[in-house]
Structure 1
């Protein structure tokens, strides 16, 4: 079982781009982001542009004719936008349903037969009023992610991280697990997996810790924390007594992530284990 886990990690490092099953959850998240951007573009077209009012002069008949022409133009434009948005919603809804199916295939224990029907993308109706700007998110200094987070997401993650730093491994393990349930597949998912793995190691459960590190590395190979996940996976494997497998895994850090801080950590672990 353990050798199979290590072999799978090494295969991901060497041939991820060539494998037919190499599609990662990060790829699926990117697809979802593309759909969201396209929908926002269409929604922006429905918002007012602040154009000045029509200046129509002439006789009453001329004004009526001009107004009728403008109404026809606006109606045609509205119908065009409605058709485009409807097409994107239908296509996006179908694609999201397909993504949910693919995510379920990647998750252990997921029952495809119990997947719920996908709601229409963007909801039942597209709002025509300007979308309110979200509140400025809290700073994300020292977090393994440079983008924006949900308002409470950073606070919950830091609470789990603080528990880990204070040596409250049981509390940290619980908080990281709850974080992943509350913000499934969020931008801090790989970091939460690594944090949960560290907490499990603190509790003496190296086997479960290795599984968390493997999930972080294999599911998010391009994440900022992926090199650390691979290094910690090697250390966890060593603590389980499989020194040769640990040496192979630790050696992959410099191959897969040259120049990362984890390279020196992995090399130190290799020297400590006496790897050749």
Structure 2
């Protein structure tokens, strides 16, 4: 009897704060969540059978006649959460696939414009946000270590190397800055400052008149952190660079994405101006 009551209370406690638990466990994937929902639903069905088999005594121990009503409510909530999780999984799959395809297309077109670059030898475009197979994308499987202040930990010499490259850029040594930022992104791949390094390398290359290479750097900055603080500027600069390269259609699509993705960012206004200048429809 006590086991029945305890099982029922556990099921109720798990179902009520379920969305909060999802938010707290950032290492979970959507597939994990769906599996847990299925397991919990199965346990609820078993509990219902046990409760009914126990007769009036079991029903009273579980809280009276309203016990089944509460179980039905929990079951309905689980069904709704399962449905919403599946819908989110499908949406994430579509967004990741579309974004990855767009990045791959831009990489191909930029390669065509670069001397000595063979599109046939381009590596397979990395999936945005990591491997999203099975819609695990929104999960954060690993995070940079943080110090007590909440800021990501930097590797030894990482900040110094970044500052050195930034100083070269600020002093007008664009070639030196481009080379240093390129070396930085290779040495600290995936680091907290890597996105900034890609973007600033694009700025240095743009000053050197190497528009194609600058566009690739802006693309790397955006694809590496499509929701990061540099994302609106990187997407704007990428679209502008494509326009300068004569890739008008791609430039229009890219610039249009700025306002769609970041409607409140200042870059959205600049993108609108650029769209009109290019005569985008």
TM-score (norm 2): 0.48
Which structure is higher in helix share? Answer: 2
| Higher RCO, 1 vs 2 (CA within 8 Å, ≥6 residues apart) | 1
